[in-house]
Structure 1
Amino acid sequence: MSIIYNQPQILGFYIAGLFEGDGHIVMPAVYNKHNPRWHITFHIKNQPLAQKLLSKVGSGFIRYKTKNNACVLTVSSVKGLKWVTAMTNGKFRTPKIYQMHLLIDWLNKHHSASIEKLPVCTKPVSGDSWLAGFIDADGSFGIRYTKKLPGVCQKVDAACKHKQRVSCRFRLEQRTVDLKTNVTYAGVLNLIANYLGVGLNTRSQTSTGKTYYIIEFSSLASITILINYLNAYPLLTAKLLDYNDWHTVAERIINKTHYTQDGLAEIRTIKAGMNMNRGVFNWQHLDEF
């Protein structure tokens, strides 16, 4: 499935999307003494992907943040910085392109590079793997399974609040503005929302007072669009395993077998083992990568 990522153009869009969700570049305080550091942060369970990407870059290291259950892929050699730049230049869609342009300026000035600073990519998100990387960073898949309460709603009643419900939910969340440039994320998130056939909403985090953009849906029309996209450009983190389970339930809903005895039994089992409850991880999808 992931063999398509052996193609540099496709891998480059994926890395750009992943970086724009969970990456950042630290420029040196002493401009001509230290190298910039290009980082992508992963949950510790995604260490196999971080190692695989490190092998592709060919230069760098992985730093472990045990208190945060995280690991950070770091690239700081000129060779590695030129590689990630060549792979992702022209593929950025968010305000983080500002960081990429600073890196290009540094490479051009201090290492005789002549790299053109390509602008934000405005192509539809449906045509490349950028969105797969962005979802791997900031998306989530969930199953809602509400049991029917005993003694109520024995008859079929569409208005009953206590009837049994099964649905698949997708959620993608991102800050409203870039912290370094104060440039809004509205443009790219509207592109994603429009592609998936939903609106772009906001939510405020009570504990911090910060506001985030959110794309969320459970409609079959949007689910079908996302399935078709991820069939073409698969996820690479452990989130792929949650997506596969989510996809199985979505197929039951589409085929109207989710309320059968077998269907409900399977859905209960799937829901119980997804996301934070997952204990076994299969990384076979990286074997061909």
Structure 2
Amino acid sequence: MRDSYSVKFSGFKLVNSKIFKRNYSDLCQSLKLHPYYVTGFCDGESSFIISIRPNSKIKTGWSVELIFEICLHKKDLELLKLIQQALGGVGNISKHSDKSIQLKVGSVKDLELIVNHFDKYPLITQKCADYFLFKQALELVKNKKHLTLEGIQNLINIKASVNLGLSDKLKVAFPNTVPVSRPLINEEIKDSNWLSGFISAEGCFLIVINPSKSNKIGSVVSLWFQITQHSRDEKLLKSFISYLGCGRYTPHSNRNAGNFIVQKFSDLDEKIIPFLKKYSILGIKALDFSDFCEVGELIKNKAHLTTTGLEQILTIKKRMNNNRIN
């Protein structure tokens, strides 16, 4: 336990998903997430939604709903419960699809608790701009402005600058919309727990095996740690290089995205893995990290240069990432 918060898996051997599920479920009974971990995770996985829909039963003809939402794979139910608890226990967790679940917070009273959290432990990706605009919308709703046509237009002006903006139907219905100015976010990492939360949401642990004529067993094994984000967060991704003391930034094949990548084994072994053992990631991704570390140990012991070791690494690779969640 550190500073009254516990986010470690010490003492657990994450051998397979069944053992992980049992151990993790028990562990979650005593876990308390660091608030910056929660913010980091939300920087990766949460959404601030302003929903405006036609409603003939309302005087203005439009209904307004403000929603804070986190949607995860159903295997991360325990993690979602922990996040809900850290945010004051507000909202409801429900099925989103056959493979996903969602935490949805929609009442004004509950959303005020969400706002209190992010005001104290700020978001630092460009999602923070959506949050600031969402706060403006919440103030309008709290003051009953959404019950007037002028207030609806003000909300439309805000919504036009949030997430994907307005639907075609709303653009037609509100032709005089003037999108509000979207805040520019230039925040820095204030706490390492933010980064562990963000990696829990957005990090990717990869085992890369390529053919090699110069290698006796015909294959070369390498480990990659990667975080991919929209290019609007390029500056933040580049800041990880100095914060972690390793890695590089590269544009993604998708022109609107970029990658923070660490491939050098010594950097992974001496910087990334120790960092994530100190500031643990949580959820189903902890299994990928455990497998990543296991392969790291095999590489350190030169097992990847043998046929038996390569077969063992291939077995581990086959159970990771999307192969684990199906």
TM range (shorter): 0.7 to 0.9
The 3-state SS of whatever aligns with 1:24 is: strand
Output the aligned Cα RMSD.
3.4
1:33-48 equivalences under 5 Å are: 34=64, 36-48=66-78
Structure 1 unaligned regions, length at least 5: 113-118, 177-183, 281-289
Q: Say yes or no: does 1:130 pair with 2:210.
A: no
Q: In the alignment, what sits opposite 2:39?
A: 16
Q: Distance in 2 between matches of 1:213 and 1:142?
A: 17
Q: Distance in 1 between matches of 2:117 and 2:318?
A: 39
Instruction: Pick one of 211, 230, 236 that aligns with 2:276.
Output: 230
1:203-214 equivalences under 5 Å are: 203-205=252-254, 210-214=255-259
- Shift in Å at residue 45 of structure 1? 2.8
Q: Distance in 2 between matches of 1:28 and 1:146?
A: 47
Q: Distance in 1 between matches of 2:279 and 2:89?
A: 24
Q: In the alignment, what sits opposite 1:50?
A: 80
Q: Which amino acid aligns with 1:186?
A: E
Q: In the alignment, what sits opposite 1:201?
A: 250
Instruction: Pick one of 216, 219, 235 that aligns with 2:261.
Output: 216
Is the contact made by 1:143 and 1:246 (CA closer than 8 Å) also made in structure 2?
Answer: yes
Task: Sort the Cα spacing of 1:122 and 1:275 in 2 relative to 1 into closer, same or farther, 3 A.
Answer: closer
Q: Which amino acid aligns with 2:107?
A: S
Instruction: Pick one of 92, 100, 104 that aligns with 2:123.
Output: 92
Report the more deviating stretch, 253-262 or 44-53: 253-262
Q: Which amino acid aligns with 2:273?
A: I
Q: Distance in 2 between matches of 1:140 and 1:24?
A: 21
Q: Give the greater-gyration-radius structure (CA).
A: 2
Instruction: Pick one of 123, 132, 135 that aligns with 1:101.
Output: 132
Instruction: Pick one of 43, 47, 50 that aligns with 1:27.
Output: 50
Is the contact made by 1:133 and 1:235 (CA closer than 8 Å) also made in structure 2?
Answer: yes
Instruction: Pick one of 4, 7, 10 that aligns with 2:6.
Output: 4
Task: Sort the Cα spacing of 1:73 and 1:244 in 2 relative to 1 into closer, same or farther, 3 A.
Answer: same
Task: Sort the Cα spacing of 1:217 and 1:27 in 2 relative to 1 into closer, same or farther, 3 A.
Answer: same
Is the contact made by 1:97 and 1:120 (CA closer than 8 Å) also made in structure 2?
Answer: no
The 3-state SS of whatever aligns with 1:236 is: coil
- Shift in Å at residue 146 of structure 1? 4.0
- Shift in Å at residue 107 of structure 1? 5.3
Q: TM-score, normalised by structure 1?
A: 0.72
Structure 2 unaligned regions, length at least 5: 8-29, 54-59, 144-184
- Shift in Å at residue 227 of structure 1? 0.9
The 3-state SS of whatever aligns with 1:253 is: helix
Report the more deviating stretch, 128-137 or 26-35: 26-35
Q: In the alignment, what sits opposite 1:174?
A: 229
Is the contact made by 2:225 and 2:263 (CA closer than 8 Å) also made in structure 1?
Answer: yes
Task: Sort the Cα spacing of 1:266 and 1:204 in 2 relative to 1 into closer, same or farther, 3 A.
Answer: closer
Task: Sort the Cα spacing of 1:261 and 1:19 in 2 relative to 1 into closer, same or farther, 3 A.
Answer: same
Q: In the alignment, what sits opposite 2:153?
A: none
Is the contact made by 1:15 and 1:88 (CA closer than 8 Å) also made in structure 2?
Answer: no
Q: In the alignment, what sits opposite 2:11?
A: none
- Shift in Å at residue 258 of structure 1? 3.0
Q: Say yes or no: does 1:66 pair with 2:97.
A: yes
Q: Distance in 2 between matches of 1:16 and 1:63?
A: 21
Task: Sort the Cα spacing of 1:193 and 1:70 in 2 relative to 1 into closer, same or farther, 3 A.
Answer: farther
Q: Distance in 2 between matches of 1:279 and 1:23?
A: 20
Q: How many residues align?
A: 251
Question: Cα deviations across residues 122-174 of structure 1 (Å, max 9, x unaligned)?
Answer: 246xx4211222222222111123466xxxx5xxx4xx698321111122111
Structure showing greater relative contact order (alpha-carbon pairs closer than 8 Å, 6 or more residues apart): 1
Q: Which amino acid aligns with 1:25?
A: F
